[in-house]
Amino acid sequence: MTAVFFRKINFNPFKACVFICLISLIQVAKAEQDVYFGTGSKLGDGIYHAKFDDAKGKMSEPKKVADIKAPGFLAKHPKLDVIYAVASINKKPVVAAYKTVKDGGLTFINYTEIGDGGGAHIAVHSSGKFLLTAQYGGGSVAVFPLGKKGAVQKRSQLIDHQGGSKVYLNRQNSPHPHWVGFSPDSQFAFVPDLGMDTIMIYRVLADEAKLVEHSRADTVPGGGPRHMRFSTNGDYIYLLNEFALSVSSFAYNKESGTAELISVTPTLDEGLKRQELFNSASEILVHPNGLFVYSANRGHDSVSVYHNNEVSGKLALQEHESIRGSFPRNINMDNSGKWLFAAGQHSNTVSVFAIDQTNGLLQYQTGNTVNVPEPICILFKD
């Protein structure tokens, strides 16, 4: 019966073998991801690119693909092969756009001046119609419409934050927006303000490339809100407090666009903090499965790992993993959720850690550290 069946469909063993090999090659190719690195203003001299094999956990040697001053944070367009950077051109803060090309290269599209201090963070709306930047020094949030091919257009809005909590000496006398991002449904924009000890929440008018002030969510006094993430189910916000080295968990109401503080979890205990002359929290991530949360600690130079209760929104600290480098300004996960990257800004290194998919714990991949000058941001392209 088998032989008759093969004759009826003109079975060719050689062609079948070739087909299987092609499928295998496609699968291997899909395992290789493009990763980009934004760099700082002292040693950083451009955007770097590497290939990452998520099957082996190996990364190629990063190479510079864009020569631009201090492209600290990067963001990708949701629909186009375009990457954006907050950077500096002719000593002026700008948003620059690049088209991604074959082998991970970047082709310059254009840039637009921010017009109010250097950008500390950047995010593109899911519609692809506009992007936001946060100006730490200027105390503002800027909105930039995007062209159909991804070019950055003239700024459409600048929102100045007002006031400061004045709790943390010299750092909270005035507003300092530190991150920008959107709710899972893209209806609201969120801006943690380190100087104000609050998250400013704006309603999004996507077609107009405009934000309208909507509400705010206060964190702990003197906490210093830095970066934030949503839980995978969209019910909670996890806000990283830079000064307090803690994570504030908020219950988020999707209908009203409001958030309520429900718990605070330390990133480091007091004993560990006393061992270092300086400590500062920097970045926070939520694993795609929703069960694990990660934050980075500068000074202690580690990543804190938490188990997340998706029902209550509360975190339980599990471990601290050394980044095998110095001053982790940024951490990020690859697209598979199997690997965590830690960028040591002061050690000029990026190290790779395997994520245990059952408990979220990290394991350093011995010898898998590459050099990048003053890495500030890690961005994986889809």
- The string of pLDDT tens digits covering residues 240-254 is 999 999 999 999 999
Please list the helix, strand and coil fractions of the chain in percent, rounded to the nearest 5, in that order: 10, 50, 40
Predicted local distance difference test score (pLDDT) of residue 16:
44
R_g over Cα of the chain: 22
Long-range Cβ pairs for the range 129-132 (8 Å, 24+): 129/206, 129/207, 129/209, 130/156, 130/206, 130/209, 131/75, 131/84, 131/95, 132/180, 132/189, 132/191, 132/211
Predicted local distance difference test score (pLDDT) of residue 185:
98
Predicted local distance difference test score (pLDDT) of residue 367:
82
Q: Is the pLDDT of residue 18 over 60?
A: no
Predicted local distance difference test score (pLDDT) of residue 302:
98
- Other Cβ atoms less than 10 A from the Cβ of 154: the count is 9
Mean pLDDT of 311-340: 97
Q: Is the pLDDT of residue 46 over 80?
A: yes
- 8 Å CB contact between 146 and 129: yes
- The string of pLDDT tens digits covering residues 186-237 is 999 999 999 999 999 999 999 999 999 999 999 999 999 999 999 999 999 9
- 8 Å CB contact between 201 and 179: no
Using alpha carbons, select from 15, 1, 55 the residue that is nearest to residue 335: 55
Structure tokens that stand for 336 in this block: 């598979």
Q: Is the pLDDT of residue 40 over 80?
A: yes
Strands (E), 254-348: 258-266, 280-286, 292-298, 302-308, 315-322, 328-333, 339-344
372: which residues sit within 8 A by CB, 6+ positions away?
37, 39, 48, 62, 343, 348, 349, 350
CA dist., res. 305 & res. 148, Å (int): 40
Predicted local distance difference test score (pLDDT) of residue 10:
52
Q: Is the pLDDT of residue 286 over 70?
A: yes
- Bridge partners of 340? 333, 353
- The string of pLDDT tens digits covering residues 342-357 is 999 999 999 999 999 9
- The string of pLDDT tens digits covering residues 161-178 is 999 999 998 999 999 999
Mean pLDDT of 18-40: 65
Predicted local distance difference test score (pLDDT) of residue 30:
55
Q: Is 34 in a helix, a strand, or coil?
A: strand
CA dist., res. 265 & res. 268, Å (int): 9
| Mean per-residue pLDDT of the chain | 92
Residue 5 DSSP label:
H
Structure tokens that stand for 73 in this block: 């944070």
Dihedral angle computed from the Cα positions of residues 52, 53, 55 and 58, in that order, rounded to the nearest 10 degrees? -80
Mean pLDDT of 136-142: 97
